[in-house]
Amino acid sequence: MVLETARHPLILDGVNPIVKLLIKNTHVVKSHSGVEQTRSSLMEYYWILKCRAVVRQTIRQCIPCRRMAQEISPPQMSDLPSERLSLQNHFAFATTGLDFIGPFPIKQCGKFATRYILLFSCLVVRAVHLEVSESLSTDSTMSCIRRFISRRGKPKIFYSDSGKSFVGSCSELRKGIEALRSSREFASKLHILDVDINWKFNPPLAPHFGGSWERLVQVFKLSLYKVIGSRTLTDETLSTFNCEIESNMNSRPLTNVSSDINDALPLTPNHFILGRPSINLPSGVFSQSKVAVTKSWKTSQILA
């Protein structure tokens, strides 16, 4: 049933301030309704010129509606650390980020134990180095760092969170450097050896500062859990499979993979480490049901 006021509405000019107050009052009475509902309620009594545009403008000026519809703007990303873009650090792992992954259960001599993976990530060429650690202690962390430096070379800067193992390792490295400086045998050679390693820590409760290597931690976890599932590995199988994952991660493309046959192959971290793409030996053809439990290397190849 159509109201008589709707058949013969009052014609009003939307520019008039009193008409704008009328629209605002209708909008509030109708529980801050939208443009069409507010306009529909007004048309039962009034015919306002350019009604839709005036109603839309009035709703935009409504403070409660603006507050509810306001979207939180994402914080502006700060500048990347200069070490990630510096051309002076031309070799891989010159600037390295560290983070622990785990724990992972293993079987050792008929008993269950836990192991951790210490991930070293080059912040410039995005290469990855993985070391198996027995615990999160400073001693185990220092052993992983020594193995990393022995094979990849001494970095200029370490980045990590403020974990106790990393803080303790930083203290141990500084004590060792100070001992070298106080030694008469090495004091005259320190300017040649360049033994300094700068260690920078992220602020507490700020894992987003380490997003560069946190992303690679996720890649490692997905690769590991999708393959082994709920299976418990031995210590040796975990170490071998850990190296297999490292090889796969270092062969991932860093640039766009083109479909044009005339374009060059995509750049990978292995190009910076080895000077060529992946050289990993393909896994053999093994049947999981026929592999003995003692053949840990075959088990790791099945997983790989």
Residue 129 has pLDDT above 90, yes or no: yes
Do 45 and 168 have their domain in common?
no
Residue 144 has pLDDT above 90, yes or no: yes
Q: Write down the pTM of the prediction.
A: 0.67
Do 97 and 214 have their domain in common?
yes
Is residue 100 a part of any domain in this protein? yes
Is residue 186 a part of any domain in this protein? yes
Is residue 38 a part of any domain in this protein? yes
Residue 302 has pLDDT above 80, yes or no: no
Q: Of 67, 94, 115, at which residue does a domain stop?
A: 67
> Rounded mean pLDDT of 171-193?
72
Do 229 and 280 have their domain in common?
yes
Which carries the bigger pLDDT value, residue 2 or residue 115? 115
Do 87 and 26 have their domain in common?
no
What would the pLDDT profile of 29-47 be if each residue is shown by its tens digit?
888 888 888 888 888 888 8
Question: pLDDT class for 219, splitting at 50, 70, 90?
Answer: confident
> Rounded mean pLDDT of 101-109?
84
Do 220 and 192 have their domain in common?
yes
The domain in which residue 26 lies consists of 4-67
Q: What pLDDT is stored for residue 139 in this prediction?
A: 92
Is residue 75 a part of any domain in this protein? no
Which carries the bigger pLDDT value, residue 126 or residue 6? 126
Residue 176 has pLDDT above 60, yes or no: yes
Q: What pLDDT is stored for residue 265 in this prediction?
A: 79
Structural domains counted in the chain: 2
Do 61 and 87 have their domain in common?
no
Q: What is the C-alpha to C-alpha distance for residues 3 and 9, in angstroms, rounded to an integer?
A: 10
Q: What is the C-alpha to C-alpha distance for residues 125 and 274, in angstroms, rounded to an integer?
A: 12
Q: Which amino acid is at 227?
A: V
Q: What pLDDT is stored for residue 181 in this prediction?
A: 73
Q: Of 39, 67, 95, at which residue does a domain stop?
A: 67
Do 203 and 238 have their domain in common?
yes
Do 59 and 207 have their domain in common?
no
Mean pLDDT, the chain, integer: 81
Residue 296 has pLDDT above 70, yes or no: no
Q: What pLDDT is stored for residue 291 in this prediction?
A: 47
Do 48 and 175 have their domain in common?
no
The CATH number linked to 212 is 3.30.420.10
Range of weakest confidence among 68-72, 125-129, 214-218, 283-287: 283-287
Do 61 and 121 have their domain in common?
no
Which carries the bigger pLDDT value, residue 303 or residue 228? 228
Do 88 and 192 have their domain in common?
yes
Give the 3-state secondary structure of the chain: CCCHHHHCCEEECCCCHHHHHHHHHHHHHCCCCCHHHHHHHHCCCEEECCHHHHHHHHHHCCHHHHHHHCCCCCCCCCCCCHHHHCCCCCCCCCEEEEEEEEEEEEEECCEEEEEEEEEEEECCCCCEEEEEECCCCHHHHHHHHHHHHHHHCCCCEEEECCCHHHHHHHHHHHHHHHHHHHCHHHHCCHHHHCCCCEEEECCCCCHHHHHHHHHHHHHHHHHHHHHHCCCCEEHHHHHHHHHHHHHHHCCCCCCCCCCCCCCCCCCCHHHHHCCCCCCCCCCCCCCCCCCCCCCHHHHHHHHC
Residue 292 has pLDDT above 60, yes or no: no
Do 87 and 31 have their domain in common?
no
Tokens standing for residue 282: 């393909």
Q: What pLDDT is stored for residue 287 in this prediction?
A: 57
> Rounded mean pLDDT of 185-190?
61
Q: What is the C-alpha to C-alpha distance for residues 107 and 74, in angstroms, rounded to an integer?
A: 46
Is residue 201 a part of any domain in this protein? yes
Residue 185 has pLDDT above 70, yes or no: no
Residue 186 has pLDDT above 80, yes or no: no
Q: What is the C-alpha to C-alpha distance for residues 200 and 157, in angstroms, rounded to an integer?
A: 7
Is residue 73 a part of any domain in this protein? no
Is residue 192 a part of any domain in this protein? yes
> Rounded mean pLDDT of 273-302?
61
Is residue 179 a part of any domain in this protein? yes
The answer to whether residues 32 and 65 touch, using CB atoms and an 8 Å cutoff, is yes
Q: What pLDDT is stored for residue 286 in this prediction?
A: 56
